[in-house]
Amino acid sequence: MSDPFAIRVITDHGEAVEALTRRHGFEETTLSEGARRGIRRIFGEDLTASEVVDRILDDVRTGGDEAVKRLTAQIDGAAPEQLEVPKAEWETAFRSLDPGMQDALQTAAEQITRFHEKQKRSSWFDFSDEGALGQIVRPLERIGVYAPGGTAVYPSSLLMTAVPAKVAGVDEIVVSSPPHQGMVSPLILAAAWVAGVDKVFQIGGAQAIAAMAYGTESVPHVDKILGPGNIFVVLAKKKVYGVVAIDQLPGPTETLIVADDSADPRITAADMIAQAEHDEMASAILITTSPALAAAVRAELDIQLETLPRGDIAQAALLNNGLIIETSDIPTAMTLANNYAPEHLCLLLRDPWSAVPLVKHAGGIFVGEHSPEALGDYTAGPSHVMPTGGTARFYSPIHLNDFVKVINVAAANEQAVKRLGPATIALADAEGLRGHARAIEYRLESKR
């Protein structure tokens, strides 16, 4: 019998706590030698990813379309004659798909729509003898969605971002996706057609973020940018924050499974591999109360990786970032899971609902054997754009509130000014703002 898969196994509680504690925040990853060669070719010198993004942002801010086309030619190998993809091409891309794929995109969009329609907020006003207080809820006017489309194509991510924006009532949805072999992926165009977005541009990387943030002759500036991307895209989003809003700074994807002795080893291993196959930086962690399950899962990982098309990627992710932790009981396992604050938390338990109240930090909870994270990635309904890197402690998945803003309304009358005026004057004087105090005093004096 061959040795079990060499994933790291932890049985000591203190070691498990240390392994699952993350407080480093967003970090710039080390560039591969291939990426560094590309930087030298394009910019003529060694630069960090941050320095590259600074140059691109400045170039697009000052050079507009011309800078975008030049950067696209340098980075992607060819510059498009026009940056915007005509809408007729989106429909053609959708119609060219086989019926099964058409149905899959439409099913996903319908599920996402149905889930997010339940989150709609309304404006409200509270009228009283002193006037009225309230809030007006308004959708954002224009958002930008970045859709990766080079070697990795994720039409599902476009749907998971654009469809909630549509439900929220955003006036205009702009999509930017890199050209691959001279064109935007037909799957991205088909997803744009199904989602009902307004414009698609064939621009990738940091230059796409710059174009949407600052605007060019062709690309309208947006109010918020959402969507995943590589290190250059993520850094660009970080740097334009304040010019526009952003959703979050997505890092490598991750899943954490809490399982007991009722879990199926084959399914458990499959769920770990489903996350690990994304890329070599992905994380898949199992916390279990069953040593027998831990051993069986290690054996299953070996078996399943042998026939996986992206087996090399998944294996590297599991060896570099994977963990199996054996612990004493489910409450302890849930405490460890909260410490990690995973993007995806999967509960493969005999009674999974009993563990749900113990969850404090997670992007999404997948309850029971029939709720795999893979279902959530595509067709369950909640957006799969969720916080990573421990940021589930303070970030939420994409939801309808990401696409609206609130305007406070105060309509006080004379009675309110009489009651609240003295306290207002006292606070204004305490802060040295006499003009504020006078604005109240004059109103009180005029009513004597």
- Residue 161's domain is classified under what CATH number? 3.40.50.1980
Could you give the angle at which helices 311-321 and 265-276 cross, rounded to 10 degrees?
A: 100
Contact in structure between 145 and 161 (CB atoms under 8 Å): yes
Residues 6+ apart with CB under 8 A from 443: 417, 421
Q: What mean pLDDT is predicted for residues 307-327?
A: 94
Q: Based on the fold, state whether residues 96 and 235 are members of the same structural domain.
A: yes
Same domain, 115 and 161: yes
Q: Is residue 387 a part of any domain in this protein?
A: no
Same domain, 71 and 216: yes
Catalytic, 344? Answer: yes
**In whole angstroms, what is the distance from residue 246 CA to residue 222 CA?**
10
The sign of the CA dihedral 10, 14, 20, 26 is negative
For residues 312 and 431, membership in a common domain is answered with no
Could you tell me if residue 388 is inside a domain?
no
Domain shared by 73 and 163, yes or no: yes
Q: Which of 300, 343, 369, 373 is catalytic?
A: 343
Mean pLDDT taken over the chain: 94
| 209, 233 Cβ separation under 8 angstroms | yes
Report CA Rg, the chain. 26
1: pLDDT strictly greater than 50: no
User: Burial level of 48, CB count in 10 A (0-12/13-18/19+)?
Assistant: middle
Would 386 be classed as within a structural domain?
no
Please check whether residue 311 lies inside any domain of the structure. Answer: yes
The residue-averaged pLDDT of 299-309 equals 95
Q: Are residues 147 and 165 in the same domain?
A: yes
Is 84 one of the catalytic residues? no
Residues whose CB falls within 8 Å of the CB of residue 342, separated by 6 or more in sequence, listed in order: 254, 255, 256, 285, 362, 363, 392
Give tens-digit pLDDT for 203-248. Answer: 999 999 999 999 999 999 999 999 988 889 999 999 999 999 999 8
What is the residue range of 432's domain? 413-446
Residues 88 and 234 both lie in one domain: yes
**Looking at the structure, do residues 277 and 418 belong to the same domain, yes or no?**
no
pLDDT value, residue 150: 67
446, 438 Cβ separation under 8 angstroms:
no
93 located within any domain: yes
- Of the pLDDT bands very low, low, confident and very high (cuts 50, 70, 90), residue 2 is low
Query: The tokens of 163 are what?
Result: 């469809």
Q: What is the average per-residue pLDDT within 314-328?
A: 95
- Is residue 177 domain-shared with residue 270, that is, in the same domain? no
Please tell me whether residues 328 and 418 are part of one structural domain. no
Q: How far apart are CA 399 and CA 8, in angstroms?
A: 35
Residues 244, 266 within the same domain: no
Q: Name the active-site residue from 116, 180, 278, 344.
A: 344
Whether 2 is covered by a domain: the verdict is no
Q: Alpha-carbon distance 83 to 204, whole Å? A: 11
Is residue 1 situated within a structural domain?
no
Query: What is the number of structural domains in the chain?
Result: 3
Whether residues 207 and 346 share a domain: the answer is no
Say whether pLDDT at 47 is over 60.
yes
Asked if the structure places residue 361 within a domain, the reply is yes
| Closest among 385, 349, 390, 389 to 366, alpha carbons compared | 349
Indicate the pTM of the whole model.
Answer: 0.91
